[in-house]
Amino acid sequence: MKPHILTFETYDDWDQGPLEDTYVIHNLPHGGKIADLSSEAIANVEAFAFKGHEQLGASIMDAFPRLGMIANYGVGYDTIDVAHASSKGIKVTNTPDVLTDDVADLAVGMVIAQSRGMVGASEWITSGNWAKQGAYQLGSKVSGKTVGIVGLGRIGRAVAERLQPFGGDIHYYSRSPKDTNGWVHHDDIVSMAEVVDILIVTLSGGPETVGMVGAEALNALGADGLLVNASRGTTVNEAALLNALENQTIRGAGLDVFENEPQINPRFLALSNVLLQPHQSSGTTETRKVMGQLQRDNLAAFFAGDPLLTPVN
């Protein structure tokens, strides 16, 4: 008999087909409620194929008496109560490494697009303003700018390596110095923000990084500074960021993540100095296929009683 699993949100055909071939699928759509699931699902589900950015807490886990594993589709697992899962003997896995390149690519893309006003420039043409009013407003140069990376993990390092050929100095924040190609280490975010032109946040999510980039760091970045966040919305104090953007105490921001996704603060929508992305840093066909395969490989290992490939706890 096929094991029963619960999938969250929707999967592309290349993932859905293999899942259906292997498991009895019960699905919890975006915004769905556990109470809407069948008694068969509650009684028989042994693993979650978790996808999305909603909270997965104790009440959901405790509703399934046979739950033994949560296979997360993504590298970040800050929305999963891993401590509670561990206390219940529930294993958690994620999909690290496979999306590093895509996240780093998008972070650099946001730096370039926001500095050069690429979205606004495209709209300048499509609106007819180029023909009617002439040249678009000037942007800001990227080459030669000093860049600060907040969090030099896999993704932070990949971002720095991509930006190094642009000819500017690379600074980074971490608790201790890393083995780098002459990059400048800081153990304080504010002091780093004072000396860089572009601040890129690549921290892991979770309680320990909430609000690490706050009003003081944004003030230190200054009126010519650009902030890019490709990590989690919680890592930047969103109220402070909105104030800085509205008051133009920083030049602008490129954001792929927000505190209340996807219902983001409407104040962002009124701003002309922010580039907004719908948390799509891993959003390429190639990477999503690899993520889905790794999630399924972890599920297969769990049901076979084999060691998990990428365990979190």
Write the CATH number for 41.
Answer: 3.40.50.720
| E strand or H helix at 18 | helix 13-22
Q: Tell me what pLDDT residue 54 has.
A: 85
CA distance 72 to 1: 24
pTM: 0.90
Domain match, 77 and 154 both: no
Task: Judge whether 66 and 302 are in contact, CB under 8 Å.
Answer: no
Q: Is 43 part of any domain?
A: yes
- Domain of residue 250: give its range: 100-276
Q: Tell me what pLDDT residue 31 has.
A: 85
Domain match, 198 and 178 both: yes
Domain match, 120 and 138 both: yes
Q: Which residues contact 247 (CB under 8 A, 6 or more apart)?
A: none
Active-site residue among 26, 157, 232, 288? 232
251 a catalytic residue: no
Domain match, 117 and 250 both: yes
Domain match, 91 and 213 both: no
Active-site residue among 26, 279, 288, 296? 279
Domain match, 243 and 156 both: yes
Number of folded domains that form the chain? 2
Q: Is 312 part of any domain?
A: no
Domain match, 117 and 138 both: yes
Convert the pLDDT of each residue in 16-60 to its tens digit. Answer: 999 999 999 999 998 899 999 999 999 999 999 999 878 899 999
Is 65 in a helix, a strand, or coil? Answer: coil
279 a catalytic residue: yes
The pLDDT mean for the chain works out to 96
Q: Tell me what pLDDT residue 181 has.
A: 81
What pLDDT band is residue 134 in, cutting at 50, 70 and 90? Answer: very high
Q: Tell me what pLDDT residue 206 has.
A: 86
Q: Tell me what pLDDT residue 254 has.
A: 98
Q: Is 310 part of any domain?
A: no
Domain match, 53 and 166 both: no
Q: Is 196 part of any domain?
A: yes
DSSP 182-237: SPEEES-HHHHHTT-SEEEE----SGGGTT-B-HHHHHHH-TT-EEEE-S-GGGB-
238 a catalytic residue: no
Domain match, 126 and 265 both: yes
Q: Is 148 part of any domain?
A: yes
Select from 297, 79, 279, 61 the least CA-distant residue to 311. 297
Convert the pLDDT of each residue in 88-133 to its tens digit. Answer: 999 999 999 999 999 999 999 999 999 999 999 999 999 999 999 9
Residue 86 has pLDDT above 90, yes or no: yes
Convert the pLDDT of each residue in 252-277 to its tens digit. Answer: 999 999 999 889 999 999 999 999 99
Give every strand in the sheet of 24-28, ordered side by side. 24-28, 4-8, 45-50, 69-72, 91-93
